[in-house]
Amino acid sequence: MTQTIDDIVTDFDVLDEWEDRYRYVIDLGRDLKPYPEDARDAAHKVQGCVSQVWLKTEIGGGPDPEIIFLGDSDAHIVRGLVAIVLALYSGRKASEILAIDPEGILKTLGLDEHLTPQRSNGLRAMIRRIRVEAQGALAAVH
């Protein structure tokens, strides 16, 4: 994925209408890296999402490992939300992941106001899962 979270925030600022922002979110989802078929299982499924959402974690080495996430969903808009979450977290060190203020980013994007309660809950479930993975990666080395 080539979009950083800063790129996404900038692009959101340029788009005035929420219809355009929703289309942009869907486009972000189309640009996700292909998700491995063998990881579409219960172990990788994110609980708490109405749509099917899968998240695969690859943890690097060292005392503060870099974590790469792959994700996918069976719903177009949710797939775009997965792309935003991955832009925010993937490729960062575990300690950085835990230091990120996801609520602040969601407010900046206006997602907290424009998503249905079910999608907001699903987004928070993805973020919880990522934070748990980061906590586990740090605990494993200490």
pLDDT digit string (tens) for 63-95?
A: 999 999 999 999 999 999 999 999 999 999 999
User: What is the rounded distance in angstroms from the CA atom of residue 82 to the CA atom of residue 127?
Assistant: 10
Residue 117 annotated in active site = no
- How are the residues of the chain apportioned to helix, strand and coil, as percentages rounded to the nearest 5? 60, 15, 30
Quote the domain boundaries for residue 128.
5-141
Structural domain total, the chain: 1
Which of 8, 28, 46, 49 is flagged as catalytic?
A: 49
Entry pTM: 0.94
CATH number of the domain within which 60 lies: 3.90.1010.10
pLDDT category at 6 given cuts 50, 70, 90 is: very high
Say which range, 25-29, 45-49, 80-84, 135-139, has the weakest mean pLDDT: 45-49
